[in-house]
Structure formats: structure tokens, C-alpha cells
Chains A and B, each alone.
Chain A
Amino acid sequence: MKIKADLKKVQEPIQNADPEVQEVIKRVLVLEKDKLYTKNPRNINDDILTIIKQVVQ
């Protein structure tokens, strides 16, 4: 149980972040995960920049 609780703590820095930071992190992670095993991940830098710009207005 303790280990499970410790694993929960892993995500605390994300859960305690400001909504904007949280949103950026979540969307970036989804994108990265999606493209992790893609042989040619195209435009990932532009996509991340777009995420930041969309979230922080």
C-alpha cells in the first residue's frame, strides 16, 4: 500500500501545478506519447509551441 501511495506521489508535481502549467504538461505528454514510437515524428517542436501559445493567451 505504501508503495502504491508513493507511486501516487510521483504525479503530485503535475497535479499541484497551476491550471495553465498542468494543461501544457498534459497536452505535451499526450503528444510525446503519441509520437514516441513514430519513426519520423514531424513538427513536434512546432506542435509543442502551438500548445503553449494556445494554453497561455
Chain B
Amino acid sequence: MRLISIRLCNFRQFYGKTPEIYLASGTRNTTVIHGNNGAGKTTLLNAFTWALYERFTAAFASPELLVNKRAIAQANVGTSIDCHVEIQFEHETKRYQVKRQCYAWQNSEGKIEYGSSKLFMKVAGDDGRWMIPTEQPEDIIGRILPESLHQYFFFDGERIDHIFRSEQKSRIAEDTKELLGVKVLDRAVEHLKKAKKTLGDELKTIGDSATKKLLREQGKLEQQKERVLKRQGEIETECAALDVLKQQVNERLRELSGSAELQSLKLELEQQEKGLRENLGRAKGNLRHLISASSYTVFTGALTGEFRGVLLGLRERGALPSGIKQRFVEQLLREGYCICGTPLEGGSGAYEAVQDWLNRAGMADVEEAAIRLEAQVGELEQQIPQFWQRVDYEQGQIQQWRSQLARVEGELDTVQEKLRTYPDENIQGLQKRLDETESQIRSLLLEQGGNQQEIERLQGAIADCQKQVDKHKLKEEKQALAQRRIQVTQEAIARLIEVRSRLEQQFRLSLESRVQEIFATISFTPYFPRLSPDYELSLMENTSGIAVPVAASTGENQILSLSFIGGIIDRVREWSQENTLMGPDSSTFPIVMDSPFGSLDEIYRRHVARAIPQLANQLVVLVSKTQWRGEVAEEMAQYIGKQYVLVYYSPKPDCEVDQITLGTVTYPLVQTSDSPYEYTEIKVVEGRE
């Protein structure tokens, strides 16, 4: 963050709008603002913290009374007074304008009421066009210079050691870690852990993989199917063999004298039986076909009736062509005779009556379609009695074949019985064998039917199994992926924790060494700062060979604190250049410092004055006349880019005026006010000292 300018409007002592106060940067990076006590130095410091963070420093009394009293008093009752602070700053390649605004007004009872403050922001990119950002202004500022760290950049020099008082120590560690990006790491770890848990839950919902079990089951089913199929093959072979045997026995029976007649009768009957069964099967097939193809016609009776009714209605209303073709009527008119023989002469009543049909005949297409439809519906109606006739016929056939079959079976039974009881034992034996063979064939055929059913069942089960296997394979892939994701997350967590621990350790050491360097350049004591793992800052001395803590004076504590701030700025800057992943985006830090030389004596003042312009990229110091002494002015001279004087106007008639001489010009510091109100004006110091 590089501060460009600040402008105040009715903010505390500053009546109306101040001119834009431009702040120095670059090689001459220091802006000095001179002012006596009460002139508004602390107000100016707080203008920065209020505008950016809505915060105030400890030395800023009555922060609720922000609006200039003169402005309120001069306004009409109920009229709002605008109080705001505008800051312009640059960050990376963008320019930001931040404005915090609040209103105050006097109510009818003479009491002053305040509205809440609002923050506005505009951003300009490389093209210089100012836009309102989509993000919250607070969020943008927070990212550039976090609120929790503002006290390191905007502070009161006299109270700087307060920041490091014991009750604040834990916050310092936290704040510093935040600036380094440890908080980013912590949050990343915390959220990655949550993500890992979610991934774990997802893994559970994917469920156990049962692919292997399913594959085993499928294998079993396939084996069963194989077995049944094999058995089917065996049955077929056995049946064929039994058929051959049956034929042979039949042959022998015919050969045996005496039974020959019976045997040939039997064979003939068997032949007949076979033929009848075939006929019966065919008739049943015909009936099935008939029902599936034409039985619907039976249900169309009501519909065709309805259709005809609709058609008739349409015809009567003249909405449908009459059924006479236009061309036919035209022909009649051309020939001059009606079909009844009446001559059709142009203009006659008959001619007109026929001509009238021409109009009613309508469109040829519609006419044709209606006629076709009517014909088809007519056909449908005719099909119904045809259907019933054929059904009756086929049922009659079935009946006939059945009764013939029953007769043939009966005869066959009689012949077989005769053969069984035939006086010749050989014949009896053969017939018995034949009976046995037939019974075997029957039982084999039964088994075959059962097996066929079993095969169909197994095939269904195998297909189901296959479907499930496919589903589980998909699950397995998902599981593997979820597990890999969990692993990667776990590793990311472990590595981030390691980075965090290294960062804390290394950064603290690096910060400590820098704080020691800065402290050594300012202080003439042999003391050196030490930074504990909790970022507790203490002063040590080592004159006896062993490092022991020393009781630091207020001045030394101030120097220690300044060294710490300088060290942090320096190291964070270095870290942010080194690391863009977790470190801050900022590598430019301003310091706005009120009363920087607090209770320091001459040597320390000189050293601090020499050191601070180098600590930050940009420095704004707010000093009183007594603080701006020879040695300070001397040390800072080469860094001063801009200077301002706060002129305090006192309503006290006999107030003691005061002034300051900068270079060759004398500027007023305290003057008598021309109104009953006190206020402050800001004046630019022209040229450099």
C-alpha cells in the first residue's frame, strides 16, 4: 500500500474541506506534519485509522464526537452535516479511493445526533477509469493491509511500547503470523481436514465392494447352466436311442406270426395318432393367429356406428362433401343431361339444381379421403362376421381332431392290450418292452421340459448377476478414486503443517536477527532484543558471558518496539517477495506515526530520526515544535518529500500565538480565531528545508 493523499471534511478540528494532503514517497519518502498540541496531529492519525478500519488510537479522546462543532452549530436545526475522510492509495497497479462518511445534525432540542458511518470505495486500473468494486471495500482493504495489523503501521510513538505490553503479547504473535500467512496455512489445514472427512463419508456411501462375491456367484450359475445343457444333450441322445429301440421292437412284433395283423393295425393307428396330433396343433395355431390378428374387429362395432353418425351429421350440415365428385357434376353440366335424363340447359331450374351440387362437392381431396375412410370402415364391419366364421371353423376342427384322436387312442389301447395279453409269450414280452421304452421316453421328455425351464431361469439369473458386477466394477473405480483423493488431501495437510512449523521457526529467527540489527543501530546500550517462540520481545545483555534479561527503560522500550515494527516490515516484505502463495500481497508498507520521539533524549532522537525513514517504504510523521529539534530535522532532511503545518485558530481573545520557522519561512502554529469556534487549517510548506 502506497498512500497518495488524504483529505478531511468537517472531521474534528478541520472545518469544511481541507485541501488534498499529498504524501511523499520514493527516495524522499517522508512527509512531516507540524502542529502544536491540540492542533490535530492525533486527529490526522485517526483520520487514517477511521477511514480505513473505523478504529481509533488510544490517545484519541471522545471518538464519538467526530463532526466539526462549528459546522454543526452553523447549520439549521435538522440539517445534516457531512463529515468524511477521503484517502487515495495505490496498491500494485491499481489506484483506490476510500471514503468513510458520517452525518451529524442538531435536533429540535439542541442535542446533536450522529448517524452511522459508511465506507465507499472506487478503484481505477491502468486505463484510469474509476469503478466501484464488486467486493466489499472492507474486504479489499483487509487483503491489502489487514485490520488486525493496522496498529503497526498507524501508531502513536509515545504509546508504541503499549502495543508490546504483556496483555497484548499473545496478539502480537497472532498478528505477525497472520501477516506472514500462517493464518492462511491454518485455514487451509482446517478446511482440508473437513474436505477429507467429507471424502471419507463419500467413500462409505459408495459401499463395500462385492464384485468378487458376485463374480463367484455368476460362475456357479454358469456351471449349473452347463450341467443342465449337458443333461439336455444326453436326454436327446437317450430319446433317439429309445426311438430306435422302439422301432426295432415294433419291427420284431410285426415279424412274429400271429401278431402281425395286430401290429400293423397298431402302427397304422399310431400313424393316425401322429397325424391327428399334428392337425390339432395346426388348428390351435391357426386359432391363436386369428385371435391375435383380427379379434380387435369385434370391438369396433360401437365405434363404426359412432363414425357413421358423425359423418352423416357432417354431410347433413353440408360440412362434408356429398359423396359426389366435382368432376362428375361438371361432366353432367357439360353434357347437358342429368343422370335421370332431365336436360340441363343453362339458366334452367334443373341446371341450377345440379350446379348447386358443384359447390357442395367441395374439395376433391377431402371428398376422396372421406369416401376412402367410409369404405375402409365398411370393410372393417364386414370383417367381424368373417372373423366369427373362421373362429367357429377352427374350433370345429379342433373338436373334430380331438374326438378322432380320442377314438384312435382308444383303439390303440385296445390293440396294445391285446398284444400284452397275447397268448404268445414272446409277443407279450416285446409289447411289455415297448411299453417300458415308451414310459422311459415320456419321463425323459418330462425331464427335458423341466430342464428347459431351469435353463431359462439360470440365464435370467446370470444376466442379473452380470448387471450387478458391472455396477460394482464402477463402484470399485469410484472407491479407488475416493481413496486416492483422501490420500492426496492427507498429504497436502501434512505438508502444510510442516510448512507452517518451518515458517514459524525460520521467520521468528530471521525476524529476531533483523530486530537486533535495527536495535543496535539506534541504541548505544550493549543490550540485544530476543524474540521468544511466543513472540515475546525482551531485552537481554551478555556482558557477563551469559545472556540475562535487563529492565528496559521507557525510551529503550520505545526503541525496541520501533525496531520490532521495522523488523516486521522488512521481513514481511522479503517474505512476500519470496512467497506469493501464503504471504501478503503487499511488499510496500507505510508508517504513519504520531509523536515519534516520545520521551527520547537527544542521542536516541537522532538515531530514531535516522532509522525510521529507512524502516518503511513511506513515512508520515506528525510532530510538535518541541519534537522537531535540530538533530531530528537534520537527520530527516534528506528524506523529506513534503511538509505541512497545522494552524490552530483559537477563539480565546488573548491567546498566545506561536509559529515555526522552516527553512527561511515562518509559519503560524497558533492564531486567534475570527469566529467563536476553534478550528485548524492545513498549510503546505513550499520547497524543502
CB 8 Å contact bits of B122-145 with A (1 = contact, 0 = none):
000000000000011011011100
* Structural contact, B136 and A39, CB atoms closer than 8 A: yes
Q: Is B551 an interface residue (CB 8 A)?
A: no
Q: Which residues on the A side are within 8 Å of B146 (C-beta)?
A: 36-37
Q: Which residues on the A side are within 8 Å of B242 (C-beta)?
A: none
Q: Which residues on the B side are within 8 Å of A37 (C-beta)?
A: 138-139, 141-143, 146-147
A2 to chain B, nearest CB (A): 9
* Structural contact, A39 and B510, CB atoms closer than 8 A: no
Q: Interface stretch among B188-196, B346-354, B417-425, B427-435?
A: B188-196
CB 8 Å contact bits of A31-57 with B (1 = contact, 0 = none):
011101111000011001100110111
Give CA–CA (A55, B332) in the complex, Å.
87
Q: Which residues on the B side are within 8 Å of A45 (C-beta)?
A: 191, 194-195, 198
Give CA–CA (A41, B282) in the complex, Å.
80
Q: In the complex where A7-B507, A13-B502, A45-B194 touch, is A52 in contact with B574 (Cβ < 8 A)? A: no
Pick the contact of A57: B199, B481, B582 (CB < 8 A).
B481
* Structural contact, B502 and A10, CB atoms closer than 8 A: yes
Q: Is B383 an interface residue (CB 8 A)?
A: no
Q: Which residues on the B side are within 8 Å of A30 (C-beta)?
A: 581
The count of chain A contact residues (Cβ–Cβ below 8 Å) is: 37
Q: In the complex where A6-B510, A48-B191 touch, is A26 in contact with B581 (Cβ < 8 A)? A: yes
Give CA–CA (A13, B495) in the complex, Å.
5
Which A9-31 residues have a C-beta within 8 angstroms of B? Answer: 9-14, 17-18, 20-21, 24-26, 28-30
Q: Is B368 an interface residue (CB 8 A)?
A: no
Pick the contact of B485: A7, A13, A44, A52 (CB < 8 A).
A52
Q: Which residues on the B side are within 8 Å of A7 (C-beta)?
A: 506-507, 510, 574-575, 578
When C-beta atoms are compared, the residue in chain A nearest to B147 turns out to be A37
B266 to chain A, nearest CB (A): 79
* Structural contact, B488 and A20, CB atoms closer than 8 A: yes
Taking residues whose C-beta sits less than 8 angstroms from the other chain, chain B's interface range is 35 or more
Pick the contact of B513: A3, A10, A39 (CB < 8 A).
A3
Q: Interface stretch among B37-45, B179-187, B453-461, B662-670?
A: B179-187
Pick the contact of A48: B195, B491, B498, B502 (CB < 8 A).
B195
Q: Which residues on the B side are within 8 Å of A17 (C-beta)?
A: 491-492, 495
B261 to chain A, nearest CB (A): 88
* Structural contact, B488 and A29, CB atoms closer than 8 A: no
Residue among A6, A21, A32, A48 with most chain B CB within 10 A: A32
Q: Is B503 an interface residue (CB 8 A)?
A: yes
* Structural contact, B509 and A6, CB atoms closer than 8 A: yes
Q: In the complex where A21-B488, A49-B198 touch, is A28 in contact with B191 (Cβ < 8 A)? A: yes
Give CA–CA (A52, B484) in the complex, Å.
10
Q: List 21 A-B contacts (CB under 8 A).
A: A3-B510, A7-B574, A13-B495, A14-B496, A14-B499, A18-B491, A21-B492, A21-B495, A24-B492, A28-B192, A28-B492, A33-B181, A34-B143, A36-B146, A38-B139, A38-B142, A39-B138, A45-B195, A49-B195, A49-B199, A52-B199
**B interface residue numbers (CB < 8 A to A):** 135-136, 138-139, 141-143, 146-147, 181, 183-185, 187-188, 191-192, 194-195, 198-199, 481, 484-485, 488-489, 491-492, 495-496, 498-499, 502-503, 506-507, 509-510, 513, 574-575, 578-579, 581-582
Among all A-B residue pairs, the 5 with the closest Cβ atoms: A37-B142, A13-B495, A3-B510, A13-B498, A10-B502
Apart from A9-B506, A11-B581, A18-B488, 16 more pairs, CB < 8 Å: A10-B506, A14-B499, A17-B492, A20-B488, A21-B491, A24-B488, A29-B184, A29-B188, A33-B184, A36-B142, A36-B146, A36-B184, A38-B136, A39-B138, A49-B199, A52-B489
